[in-house]
Structure 1
């Protein structure tokens, strides 16, 4: 017994091992089957989404839309079987595509989308069974359904109340309004166009003529007719009389066969109808006048007017399959006297029992069906085009109002993530330093770090009468300020400068330069650096002159708007002139570029004595009444042609430094007291601050002047040359002023006063020097070295 138990135990262990192995193999098999099924589904989806199947299904869709109309409009009945076969193929392909795109997809079968089986109860053959089941189910769940309905009504009321409290956003309102407008336009187009694309024709002659044939055929009331009592008993006519003769009867039948002629078909000669009628009479069953009024098929007619023969294959209540016309291409009309209808009063008509005495006429209407199907094709095409147009419009609206702004925001976020201080399309000076302070360490902002010394050209554009402008315009002063800022920043960006920050009533601009004193710079490259610096100086000074020209264009545009609107006061014109009264100062030197501020606010700025000198030089533009001033350091860096636009007006020590005085060079223009009458016309494709070439240089590329020969910019640009020609100082004044300035520097102030007065005491530089000499009694100071401090002449 013990041996038997041991054997049983071993046998049981072996069986368990086999079961475990079988389970493992079963799991692997199921996993393998799942992978195979997934691969098969992906292959089927790839096949359906391929180019070949896409083209085939598109053609089948077009065939499904227009195929039946084409069949009727362009082909005879013999081609119907071919079309039916193609319809079956299209249906089969649509079913296959549906199954592949639905059932074959993973996690789709028996999922949520199979709720679409709910139309099944609408099928007539299934409705009784479903109705019986639903009646039992409703009887059991009536109370529960009432509770659910009450809850649903309460939830719906709450939802509607909540929706009423939600105010539509501007974006949603704009998109909704545009969508509503387009839908209304589409619906109106459909209402207007679809009736024009429908064929409807009503011909009462078929039925009316058949009723006349019926009674004229029964009108021979003589005793020889076996059924002469019907209609010949005094209710219709008296016995022994007749309405028509045999020849007239035949002519009447022939004319009825051609009753589809409309008025436009009637010929003008001899009163006969010629040619084939629009709709051919195929079959006629009516009382035969020549056969005692018996109801029978009239096979043929031979009359004085013509001959008509029945189409035998289309005769009878049900045409044979050999009939060359489709059922929809034939129209059958019937007529039965009211005495023979089932609703006739038996007391009045005596129960004649003539319910089967019905006359029939069948006409071929193939041309009508062809025309109708052709219009149906046009209707389908119109609806497709309309839906496609509306779809494209909806997509464009969504792209413009929703997707494009979102994509723009996403791009901005990406750019900010890569470079937190880089705004799109705007170059910020000092961004590298601030980025470095943010990227160092653990990514936190670290402003407690040294800046970087840079060498560059600094320009300060200041508005001279900002206080007066603010008093005139009040809150609207920022509008004109921003217009000026657009011109300043746009011109600087176009000509290689960067806008740094707004200081008080102006804007600081920077053009970075390579230093020729860099110890790491090779000797042979220093001359190249000098050339680059000269080109940069030419672009910077030209940028200043271009700003003045653009501000003049702003003055002309704003003044034209003011004069064209009577609601503007005189102060509006004065404020506009004040807005363009700017002074631009240029200087070259070094500065420390770096972040300045705290964790609450930070600015990427420039600090250094040359920045202070630039600001001081801009203050002198008011004293010399000159739109542009530049220091001698930048003047000598520029090319000869650019220097020709400037003249030396004074020697001044800028700031409190003990460095050598600077020669001050100015672009001297006549003061602006009114808007210019006209300015040079600009091209249609003109961009703010761009070069405007004369017509004889129109074929020369802009890059030739911008990159290779910037010294010609101030002599080529139409804006700048026009500005110099209209507001520039004449040659005699310049010569007299130079001699007077020479006497002023040498200390011969008596002659200097005489010459400067001759040059024009109303001109800015001459007036400034005369005022300074007058402050000392026109006597040369004892310690005169040929220059003076900035505060002396400013005071």
Structure 2
């Protein structure tokens, strides 16, 4: 199949310009070379042969070669069946042009086209090109005459000419039968040309390499089987190895013998040939009349008898002309009648020619058949004279009807073979397409999508539902889909680059690669009382952790985050800044992280309640014994921080984890640990708070200013209060197909903070400001008022306990912040 192969991006691609010119564009940006699937067989892309090759692959040449191929398939048969002999020169010229075009294409493709030389289509193209010679009359006839000219030495020139013509006619008829069948390989050339445009537009469907190979191999097998069957079945026909006597052979032998006897007795008439012809005893006229009437409805065109002079043979021909077959008028049932004299009222079935030259001028070589007789007889005897081999007579017979019928049948046969090749290929490849190619292409597509966007196809290649009738390809396809999902789940967002690099790399697995510096929001969650719970639940603790993890992960992924690490009772969550794949900017990503954690707390509260997936743990005997009746509730501590980190693989070739290394990740963990001191489920760093939108910042409050262990840089700590818990919160909303960002001034935020006193946030903010400035007495008064408004407020109690240690007077070295004593 003539095709334009797809080239890897590193090496180049064949593109179509101006609809008729193929150009090889080499991508050298990455140091690529012409080592792709379409690398020419020569090293000079600007050479004349290369430009000529591109021209041959273009649309103009494709159209031209398509027309010549159709002509090569049907032209010779149409010439014989429809057109007069005067058209032969035109058909020979076009056939010669086709031979030159096919030869040129064959030579150029052999030099330039990759994987063409010695391929399946290379040999078929050679065969199709060589058989074009049989369609060029003046070349083909010369070849046949030269091939069968030997083996007739010792005879007169007349005998040699007759025998040679007969041999050429008899033996060449067998060759032509084979050549006509072999010519059917041109159907393959038409198939290649017709599929060239589809192959050039390969980027539309982008089939897999195995799919293309299997389709091509299937077509090759169908072509080989059909053509082999047509050719070799003919070889097993007896008619290929035996020859029937030509028209009128028996009658010509009789005439040949009788005329020699006739000439031997002509001396009695004084060599008066005309008088002797009328003799009833030895006369020859009746022999001619009988022979002419017996030639199957009048197919005789011309004859020449041994021993007759030109004048005598002309007289014999005239007798035959007066005894030809004539057609009856249409009202008669019989097709023809014999006349003993010419009658202009009726149409002769065939016109006997006056000379051999007239036969050859008016009929093609293939339209008449030659019969001959070469035996010499002893004078006045019926026995052969074996010492003399110079006697020869011959006759020409009209076979135009058979030739036209054969040409018409050849056209039908060619069309039939084209139909068989087309539908045979489709039918044979249909099952392979459905059972092998399509499943493989789906698997390849899944792998390619996984390599291009490791985290973008998590739901695109779900396993198919299987039945007992499914074959191994369905099982393999499902297995690849599951492996892909396990890779995505196992490596997570941090491992996307590792997956992409190794899936697109043809070399071995290389999990250890350089990390990538990136900016992200890091969230850390920890399950409270986990040690006690593990002792109570034992082996059931895995399901317990996974149920909590499902709540955390679902909320995170709902708001553009990604789960990274699951460390026993803790979860590391990540929101990448400037997420170009999902078109979320940095400010909105911080809002998303805050919404996700608020949603996590609300969903956890709901699942702890009646009917929730976590409610049953309250009734677990060991839980009730350890925590008391109805005193158990699953709670989380959470911290959010923003900063840089190195994303990559951590470990060795034995085991790796895709994660993040940075002090900012540790900061998120310390914030989560500090939630216990501040008696609040959520802590936000000052950097994270500053990155929030103005609407989101209004919903948060500053609760302290501290330095954490391992850092001397003071930072503010913030939280966001949830006072009222709705059934649902933070469900993604859409405007058509566009995802809407969460509205921090909307009804959902109003609801969860609806029970806060009207001036609670401003009053608490004033108290924290007094605390940081060192006016702890004023801070205590204001915090006491806050407790009246919101009894049991954790951050308020935490600040009061800190000031209580110093009797509500700030230390002399107070700098407006304190050091956290725990990680």
With the length of structure 2 as denominator, give the TM-score of the two structures.
0.40
